[in-house]
Amino acid sequence: MPIELAERSSHSVGRSILPETRSILAAPLRTIAVWFLRSAQRRALRDLAQEPRLLRDIGLTPDQVLPEANKPFWRR
């Protein structure tokens, strides 16, 4: 569940970086912003998976974290 929360927050951050406009570039730039944030979050999650003690602190196991961390940035 915490992973889903992080996913939702990346979308809202992507929207706040690039507010709703009718510009032809707004949607592609918003998508790139979301991809960039998602990539950074997954990289941080992969790093966190290397520290079992820290994962235990947040109630997760490497088996729960690694499938999400290893997804490509364009997948939800």
- In contact, 65 and 49? CB cutoff 8 Å: yes
Tens digits of per-residue pLDDT, 41-76? 999 999 999 998 999 999 999 999 999 999 999 999
Cα 30 to Cα 60: distance, rounded to the nearest angstrom: 30
- In contact, 62 and 47? CB cutoff 8 Å: no
Radius of gyration of the chain measured on its C-alpha atoms: 14
Cα 63 to Cα 46: distance, rounded to the nearest angstrom: 11
Report residue 7: phi and psi, to 5°: -65, -45
Tens digits of per-residue pLDDT, 14-49? 556 556 667 899 999 999 999 999 999 999 999 999
How high is the pLDDT of residue 22?
Answer: 74
pTM: 0.66
